[in-house]
């Protein structure tokens, strides 16, 4: 009983350090972005959601959210971005992507559930960001930049021709990369998982 508390304290410290490290790595990966062919150049893919996914799988869905929040906070500070709308949009996309897959994985704990969760998350992110852009993000961006209010037709074309296919492709690309990474790292992830440690 007496030795249990130092172990719990050490586990919490490891979790916090890992989240901080993953958040920093995510921010760096966010800077290494690239556009997709045939889509608007301002929509760029990066792999910054991978460390957040890893944290959400290793610990809890909340850990993945914390990595997303830390990533965007650090990015905003480091770049001095004058556009907070983009940072908020990135956080929202990360949230829609991280939560479903990590919740599904923690319920079933298998590679099959991970793949199913990633497919579900990709769809939720694509359609969720389409709705958010139409009703919230695009109007907020227009207001922040001092542009004229976008018409419903312009917003619809932007969402259908840009936002929706972009997020769908991003989900597929990030999911494929993370699945390959997870298969190789599964023993290490299970070893570092708090539940496996407590069971030992």
For residue 103, is it within any domain?
A: yes
**What's the predicted TM-score (pTM) here?**
0.89
For residue 199, is it within any domain?
A: no
Rounded to a whole number, what is the distance in angstroms from the first to the last CA of the chain?
Answer: 14
Question: What's 102's domain CATH number?
Answer: 1.10.1760.20
For residue 89, is it within any domain?
A: yes
Closest Cα partner for 85 from 137, 149, 49? 137
Closest Cα partner for 71 from 46, 37, 101, 35? 46
Are 171 and 97 a contacting pair, CB within 8 Å? yes
Kind plus residue range of the DSSP H or E element containing 44: strand 44-45
For residue 120, is it within any domain?
A: yes
Are 64 and 102 a contacting pair, CB within 8 Å? yes
Total tally of structural domains belonging to the chain: 1
Q: Is the pLDDT of residue 1 over 50?
A: no
For residue 95, is it within any domain?
A: yes
CA angle 61, 63, 64 (to 5 degrees): 65
For residue 161, is it within any domain?
A: yes
Summarize pLDDT for 50-94 with one digit per residue, the tens: 999 999 999 999 999 999 999 999 999 998 766 789 899 999 999
Summarize pLDDT for 20-37 with one digit per residue, the tens: 999 999 999 999 999 998
- Domain housing 25: 4-35+44-194
């Amino acid at each position: 009983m007496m030795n249990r508390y130092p172990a719990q304290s050490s586990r919490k410290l490891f979790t916090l350090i890992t989240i901080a490290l993953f958040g920093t790595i995510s921010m760096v990966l966010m800077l290494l972005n690239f556009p997709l062919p045939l889509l608007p150049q301002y929509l760029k893919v990066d792999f910054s959601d991978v460390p957040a996914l890893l944290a959400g799988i290793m610990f809890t869905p909340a850990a993945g959210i914390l990595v997303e929040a830390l990533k965007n906070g650090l990015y905003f500070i480091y770049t001095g971005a004058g556009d907070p709308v983009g940072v908020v949009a990135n956080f929202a996309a990360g949230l829609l992507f991280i939560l479903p897959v990590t919740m599904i994985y923690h319920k079933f704990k298998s590679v099959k559930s991970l793949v199913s969760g990633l497919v579900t998350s990709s769809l939720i992110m694509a359609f969720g960001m389409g709705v958010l852009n139409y009703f919230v993000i695009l109007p907020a961006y227009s207001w922040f930049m001092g542009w004229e209010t976008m018409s419903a037709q312009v917003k619809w074309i932007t969402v259908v021709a840009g936002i929706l296919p972009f997020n769908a492709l991003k989900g597929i690309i990030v999911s494929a990369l993370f699945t390959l990474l997870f298969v190789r790292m599964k023993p290490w992830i299970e070893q570092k998982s708090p539940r496996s440690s407590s069971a030992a």
